[in-house]
Structure 1
């Protein structure tokens, strides 16, 4: 089978590997679609803190079951999606139902080899039917679930003012699910094309272009939009430490600040600003089974503009040559899907 391996930062290679032999608890999947995630781009550029090379990337996965254990909830021929966070089920987080932050977690494509390959064996507990959606849609469930999880963490309510900082796929996912809860959602980003997509495809209530100068015109505009009160909920989805530190300035007094992003460095805030707002600071990591189900239900109901999100398609064989192009802002990539 063809497998794409990231041998080191900046280098992808196609290798011929044997089809995996599934263990007694494994489902063997014929991988049909792979979503390219920001994590994959960070692995390619050498900016992912939880990874050793070489690595087979890919954790946004959809496919067809080739074989499954007797009594499994999926059977040969089923269309499925994969929950790529392989949790242990025993640790303090798992016992509390927080499998997304399992102390022994192994994320496909990060801690262990993932799905940029033609066949993949996955423990049956992490494979779910994807009835009622297309393969393209099924491959987008995972990144959308990260946004859904963040919105659930914040307990976003109808009519709350929400700011999403960073209009990449994860920020767009948070925008979608905050809107579905009835919030008034605004998006801050430096890319006009992504702001336009948030406004036209996602129904954002307003967009503001980032201003990194000392003038701070973006902050003034955000203040204007909220009568100087700013936002009950702010999500950071930038992957930028300075942006994460600055985002506290946009949180209303009594508000919640949710960091979806992760960076391989320390971040800090002004303690007086943090305290005078009595800010609730939340990390949001991965997603749970319930979040995946939330996304699937919304997809089936036609509430997610998946066609607008999927801007690029390519084949597994094209990845080594085409992957670097996905890093070019001029390419206008929101979500690229790889077809196998």
Structure 2
């Protein structure tokens, strides 16, 4: 079977691998659609410290069950050949402090598909049946979009966004759009912040009430205007720049919450008195929980999310390398790339 591999920084290729056979408790999937993630871009650029090479990427997955391994069907969920599914791509040890506290999404020993272990950008793949999720009625493109949207949804859940609250989201890329859509699903008022007019227009279609182009508008003044001078209740950072890390703390209201999804590319210096003066809750957000997947699936079933516009580029497995290289050269041109398997 064919698979796509990032061989070393800046180099990718199609390779031939033997077709896998499902072990007991596993299913064999025929892959239908896989999305490229920002972690894949960092792997290609040589900027992902969790990756060793070569690596098959792919953890945003839609597939069809091709074969059931032994002992599949013994659990609470019955699976069947021909069923369309998506994959929960994280592992958990069950024993570390995070797992014991019911937060396996940030398991100390987590291994995400396509990052610490090979992913599923291949024609066939085996996966434990316990990691499958059904989402009847969603297209392959929507199924593959669930996982990246859950990352933003989990950040909004970490920030405890509530109906009527004002939420500001820094960054209108795929992850930021997931946060925007999730906050809107909860009934919040959302302001999207970006420097790209097209991405801000897309943010509005995903549920943003207001937009701010921080390259041409005064961010603090505009947010003060929109919040009667108080600042937003919750700030979600989905960019990963020191400037936006600081801005989230500076513009959020007193007794507000800040949630960081992005990794800053360098050390961040703060005016730490704001942490104390405002008595802020500052939280990190990593991956997602099953409940986040359930929420995003329900949101997509509602039919209001603009999937065809959020997925800015489609390609075949043969085009995967060129698309990844183009994304690395001009990231502002891309929101989400999905590879479709015939």
Q: TM-score, normalised by structure 2?
A: 0.93
- Could you list the structure 1 runs, at least 4 aligned residues long, displaced by more than 4 angstroms after superposition: 328-331
Are the counterparts in 2 of residues 325 and 331 from structure 1 also a CA contact under 8 Å?
no
**Aligned match of 1:210:** 214
Greater displacement, 272-281 / 86-95: 86-95
Q: Distance in 2 between matches of 1:129 and 1:9?
A: 35
Cross-structure match for 1:231: 232
Q: Which residue of 1 aligns with 2:18?
A: 18
Which residue does the alignment assign to 2:178? 173
- Of the candidates 45, 66, 81, which is equivalent to residue 86 of structure 2? 81
- How many angstroms does 1:262 deviate by? 1.9
The 3-state SS of whatever aligns with 1:317 is: helix
Instruction: Note if contact 2:24-2:72 (Cα within 8 Å) is conserved in structure 1.
Output: no
Number of aligned residue pairs: 336
Other-structure match for 1:277: 278
* CA shift in 2, pair 1:88/1:28, >3 Å: farther
Residues in 1 aligned to 2:276 and 2:19: alpha-carbon distance in whole angstroms: 55
Report the counterpart of residue 7 of structure 2 in structure 1.
Answer: 7
Which stretch of structure 1 is more off in the superposition, 117-126 or 86-95? Answer: 86-95
Out of 313-322 and 70-79, give the one that drifted further: 70-79
Alignment partners' CA distance in 2, 1:220 and 1:79? 48
CA distance in 1, matches of 2:267, 2:118: 28
Does structure 1 residue 249 correspond to structure 2 residue 258?
no
User: Is there any run of 5+ residues in structure 1 with no aligned partner, and where?
Assistant: none
Matches within 5 A, 1:127-138: 127-138=132-143
What is the CA distance between 1:8 and its match in structure 2?
Answer: 1.0
CA distance in 1, matches of 2:132, 2:274: 44
User: Structure 1 or 2: larger strand share?
Assistant: 1
Residue number in structure 2 paired with 1:157: 162
* Counterpart position of 1:57: 57
Contact 2:240/2:265, CA 8 A, preserved across alignment: no
In the TM superposition, residue 93 of structure 1 has moved relative to its aligned partner by 2.0
Residues 71/203 of structure 1: CA separation in 2 closer, same or farther (3 Å cut)? closer
Q: 1:89 to 1:75 in 2, by over 3 A?
A: farther
Indicate if the aligned counterparts of 1:175 and 1:185 stay in contact, CA closer than 8 A: yes
2:300 pairs with 1:296: no
Is 1:188 aligned with 2:193? yes
Supply the RMSD in Å over aligned alpha carbons: 1.8
Q: Which residue of 2 aligns with 1:139?
A: 144
Give secondary structure in 2 for the equivalent of 1:318.
helix
* 1:270-329 CA distance string (max 9 Å, x none): 221111010000111000111111111111222422222122110011112232122454
Give 1:19 shift. 1.2
Within 1, Cα distance between the matches of 2:283 and 2:118?
Answer: 29
Q: State whether residues 27 and 127 of structure 1, in contact with CA within 8 Å, keep that contact through their aligned partners in structure 2.
A: no
* CA distance in 2 between partners of 1:104 and 1:330 (Å): 30
Question: 1: CA distance between counterparts of 2:34 and 2:181?
Answer: 21
Alignment partners' CA distance in 1, 2:330 and 2:189: 28
Does the 8 Å contact 2:27/2:72 carry over to 1? no
Report the Cα distance in structure 2 between the residues aligned to 1:143 and 1:321, rounded to whole angstroms.
22
SS at match of 1:158: coil
- Between 1:1-10 and 1:216-225, the stretch displaced more is 216-225
